[in-house]
Chain A
């Protein structure tokens, strides 16, 4: 049995909040630079150049990449041989968010959905926990901006819609979103499972490094086909026209029920932010 102190989790989460909101991953920068090489729209090129410049300024001056520093989404992988002591894990994570958003001068965006009164410290986090074999404790912090979150959807198709129905839905979701989610976007897709499983798979798909390949050959082919279709729409950077509408399509799948084909599309803006730590 391995012991982890709740206090240590707080400190790690605090630091991840600031890191994720100010430093864009090299995989993302790489993919944007690659897109710039193939972008033929002058406006699109200007947008991509400014996005790269913005990442440089943010990292150098310790300023958030985007004013929407998101809702705090935390993915935990907790080994089944780990014991957490010294307080509640959930409280420890929320305290880390509280400290990170205060100390990092990040925006506090959470509010009560009925009164719309701001909570004031960007808590509570949305926490997804997976119990895994072994004794590791991994935290991925993924602040989610809502310009892109608002464009996301879950559709419960009948089986007759088939994979063609799913593909149409995904491409049309991107077309209808236009410039709203800050393209070039990353399109996270969850195919199958239940209503909530599909959404969670779509969100998790956004964590996969850009430029990586789906280990499932069928899904890999589907990702490439969808990316090609999405980039042929002409929506382009910021929706102002161009060849780069998405940087990647990432798909996760899970068996589903004989009566259904759940399809979740979680859209992520170009500021594909996440930071992780293993304790």
Chain B
């Protein structure tokens, strides 16, 4: 990690989010929740039908992950990020309802970026395909909703020093655009 790496705590509050810029490297510790395709559909269906979620998303960071089963003696198996665009149609509503951070991989839609700007949420990239390494940062894991979804169930994770990169910030900065532009040679 480079010396400018910022240590931040989840859940996130507004001043921390404001301080993060695309390209920053961070180490995230604290409590986060997980959710991917099926859980996102369920969350948005519940909100749209006027019902409460079985957990709070206010101030939370959600990690797009479907881990492998925990082997004996470990809290969780391999747990790297999944591709984020599949959550794009659901994310703006969750951001409006207080979600402050998302962890995944790959660029986001304009709608998601607009919602991030408007409501103040940040998007972190984790290094895809490093499930064994990311697993080491997860100290505790507990299913908090929709156990029947198996790998897609919503979990609460206690994490320590998760290595992340700020991919998209609340000012419209997007490393998925500026990064490749900087290194393009043709």
List residues of chain A with CB under 8 Å of any chain B CB: 40-44, 46-47, 50-51, 53-54, 57-58, 61-69, 105-109, 116, 118, 120, 145, 147, 150, 178-182, 229, 232-236, 238-243, 269-271
Complex alpha-carbon distance, A51 and B129, angstroms: 7
Output the nearest chain B residue to A64 by Cβ-Cβ distance.
Answer: B78
Check B130–A64 contact: CB distance below 8 A. Answer: no
B25 contacts the other chain (Cβ, under 8 Å)?
yes
Given contacts A43-B23, A68-B80, 19 further A-B contacts (CB under 8 A): A46-B25, A46-B127, A47-B127, A50-B133, A51-B127, A54-B130, A57-B136, A63-B71, A64-B132, A67-B67, A67-B77, A67-B80, A69-B78, A106-B68, A179-B128, A234-B182, A234-B184, A239-B180, A240-B125
The answer to whether B175 and A241 have CB atoms under 8 Å apart is yes
Contact B69 A271 (CB under 8 A): no
| Docked-complex contact A50 and B105, CB < 8 angstroms | no
Residues of chain B from 75 to 113 with CB closer than 8 A to chain A in the complex: 77-80, 82-83, 85, 105-107
Q: How far is the CB of B99 from chain A (nearest CB, A)?
A: 21
With a cutoff of 8 Å between Cβ atoms, the chain B residues found around residue A66 in the complex are 78, 80, 128-131
List B contacts of A120 (CB < 8 A): 150
A-B contact pairs, 20 of them (CB 8 A): A43-B165, A43-B179, A50-B163, A51-B129, A51-B130, A54-B132, A61-B132, A63-B68, A63-B132, A64-B78, A69-B78, A118-B150, A180-B83, A180-B105, A234-B182, A239-B176, A239-B179, A240-B179, A241-B182, A242-B179
A235 touches B180 (CB 8 A): yes
* Residues of chain B contacted by A61 (CB below 8 angstroms): 132
Q: Are A180 and B106 in contact (CB under 8 A)?
A: yes
User: Contacts A53-B133, A63-B132, A64-B77 known; A234 to B180 CB distance under 8 Å?
Assistant: yes
In the bound complex, residues from chain A placing their C-beta under 8 Å from that of B38 are: 116
Given A118-B150, A178-B176, are A241 and B183 also a contact pair (CB < 8 Å)?
Answer: yes
Q: Which residues of A contact B133 (CB under 8 A)?
A: 50, 53-54, 57
Using A178-B106, A243-B183 as known contacts, say yes or no to A150 and B128 having CB atoms under 8 A apart.
no
The digit string for B169-186, where 1 denotes a CB below 8 A from any CB of A, is 000000110111111111
A233 to B182, CA, bound (A): 10
- Asked if B2 CB lies within 8 Å of chain A CBs, one says yes
In the bound complex, how far is the Cα of B183 from the Cα of A40, in angstroms? Answer: 9
* Residue tally, chain B, CB below 8 Å to A: 49
* Bound form: Cα–Cα A47–B165 in Å: 10
B181 and A65 within 8 A (CB): no
Contacts of B35 in A (CB 8 A): none
Give the distance to chain B from A150, nearest Cβ to Cβ, in Å: 7
CA distance A98 to B102 in the complex (A): 33
* Chain B window 113-135, contacts with chain A (Cβ cutoff 8 Å), 1 for yes, 0 for no: 00000000000010111111101
User: Are B132 and A269 closer than 8 Å at their CB atoms?
Assistant: no
A41–B128 Cα distance when bound, in Å, is 17
With an 8 A cutoff between CB atoms, is B159 at the interface? no
How many angstroms between the C-alpha atoms of A46 and B167 in the bound complex?
Answer: 14
Q: Which residue of A lies closest to B126 (CB)?
A: A238
The CA-CA distance from A159 to B179 in the complex, in Å, is: 36
Pairwise interchain contact A65-B129, C-beta atoms closer than 8 A: yes
Distance from A146 Cβ to chain B, minimum over Cβ atoms (Å): 9
Q: Tell me which residues across on chain A come within 8 A of B131, comparing CB atoms.
A: 54, 58, 63-68
Q: How far is the CA of A250 from the CA of B186 in the complex (A)?
A: 22
Contact B128 A238 (CB under 8 A): yes
Most buried by A among B67, B74, B182: B182
Contact B129 A54 (CB under 8 A): yes
CB-based contact A41/B78 at 8 Å: no
State in angstroms the CA–CA spacing of A229 and B79 once bound together.
33
Please give, as numbers and ranges, the residues of chain A lying within 8 Å of B183 by CB-CB distance.
Answer: 40-41, 44, 234, 236, 241-243
